[in-house]
Amino acid sequence: MTEQRKLKIIVLGESGVGKTSLLVRYKDGTYRESYKYTNLDLLTKTIRINNTSIHLEMWDTAGFEKCRTYVRGYFRDSHGVLLIYDVTNMTTFNTLESWLSDLRKENETAVVLIVGNKNDDPDRKSVNRKVVKGYAESKDMEYMETSAKTGDNVNEVFDTLIRRILGIPLDDNTDSSNADSGHCSDAEEAISNNRKVYKLPPIVPLRDEGIIKLSAQTDKLRKDDDFCC
Ligand SMILES: Nc1nc2c(ncn2[C@@H]2O[C@H](COP(=O)(O)OP(=O)(O)O)[C@@H](O)[C@H]2O)c(=O)[nH]1
Ligand SMILES: [Mg+2]
């Protein structure tokens, strides 16, 4: 029997780091230099992992990060957070700590993954990988670099976040002897045997339901929470 799960994922970080671009790239594999969505709120996608069908609700900020006045409900109940900076802009990395602290005031349990986006031009890269790695380790978080523009590492970021939320181990080394089973139980068995080898269950996209503009609801939330933008 197929189990159903719903996961809420949110994005956080300064305006312009590529949050919307990353969500859209993951949702339907496209990229445009500039998105014109004014009330882009919710993107949905259904994937399957083992026998579980997972309905992803991926919430965009709808621009509230510009004034850092939050829709409080945005943080609440989220299972996973992509904390995003721009690898070409150190300031966007320096503000991650305050985004994280704002998140933790409302949500202590969400899994957070740090993402360095715009990793597509080595000449423009200005945030030192080692610095980010050190920060991520100090927070016991994972850190990955992506490009929404080229699509590099985007699926991997979402896969990693989803696996972390669901408690499915990531592979350190793929064990070919385990390679065709692909079930959680194998991974669990590997852990119980204290082996550092896991076979990842595949994540399969099932439906791409589109971008839903919930401007009516968002307007209400904005009103309720003194949304300033
Ligand atoms: N070079 C490059 N530009 C990007 C990338 N992701 C987004 N951008 C650009 O950065 C700008 C801001 O992106 P947007 O997704 O609106 O950022 P948001 O404000 O964080 O949602 C847009 O002009 C995007 O085209 C990327 O991976 N590489
Ligand atoms: Mg945006």
More confident: 171 or 180: 171
The pLDDT of residue 213 is 54
**CA of residue 125 to ligand 2 center, whole Å:** 21
The pLDDT of residue 211 is 60
**CA of residue 183 to ligand 1 center, whole Å:** 36
The pLDDT of residue 209 is 60
What whole-number percentage of the chain has pLDDT above 90? 53
More confident: 216 or 105: 105
Helix (H) or strand (E) holding 21: helix 19-28
Pairing mode of beta strands 142-145, 3-12: unpaired
Distance CA 125, CA 116 (A): 10
Closest CA to ligand 1's atom 28: 118
The pLDDT of residue 65 is 81
Closest CA to ligand 1's atom 26: 118
The pLDDT of residue 180 is 30
The pLDDT of residue 158 is 96
The pLDDT of residue 71 is 67
Residue 146 has pLDDT above 80, yes or no: yes
More confident: 89 or 228: 89
**CA of residue 19 to ligand 2 center, whole Å:** 5
Is the sign of the CA dihedral 162, 168, 170, 171 positive or negative?
Answer: negative
20-79 per-position pLDDT tens digit: 999 999 998 999 887 655 455 789 999 988 888 999 999 998 777 877 776 667 888 899
Residue 118 has pLDDT above 90, yes or no: yes
Mutate to test the pocket of ligand 1, among 12, 15, 17, 21 (most ligand atoms within 8 A of CB): 21
Closest CA to ligand 1's atom 12: 16
Residue 159 confidence class, pLDDT cut points 50, 70, 90: very high
**CA of residue 109 to ligand 2 center, whole Å:** 24
Q: Which residues form ligand 1's pocket by a CB distance below 6 Å?
A: 15-21, 33-35, 117-118, 120, 147-149
- Look over the chain and give the mean of its residue pLDDT values, rounded to a whole number: 78
Closest CA to ligand 1's atom 13: 18
The pLDDT of residue 55 is 93
What's the predicted TM-score (pTM) here? 0.80
The pLDDT of residue 8 is 94
175-212 per-position pLDDT tens digit: 323 323 333 333 333 333 333 333 445 666 666 665 65
The pLDDT of residue 176 is 29
Pairing mode of beta strands 111-117, 52-59: unpaired
**15 Cα nearest atom in ligand 1:** 19
* Residues measured by CB to lie within 5 Å of ligand 2, the ion: 19-20
Q: Which two tokens stand for residue 28?
A: 């339907």
Distances (CA, A) of 89 to 16, 113, 118, 142: 10, 18, 10, 20
Q: Give me the phi and psi of 192, to 5 degrees please.
A: -65, -25
Distance CA 3, CA 55 (A): 11
User: What number is the average pLDDT over the span 115-131?
Assistant: 96
Report the amino acid identity of residue 71.
V
Residues β-bridged to residue 46: 55, 207
User: What number is the average pLDDT over the span 129-141?
Assistant: 95
Distance CA 144, CA 123 (A): 19
**CA of residue 115 to ligand 1 center, whole Å:** 13
User: What number is the average pLDDT over the span 83-102?
Assistant: 96
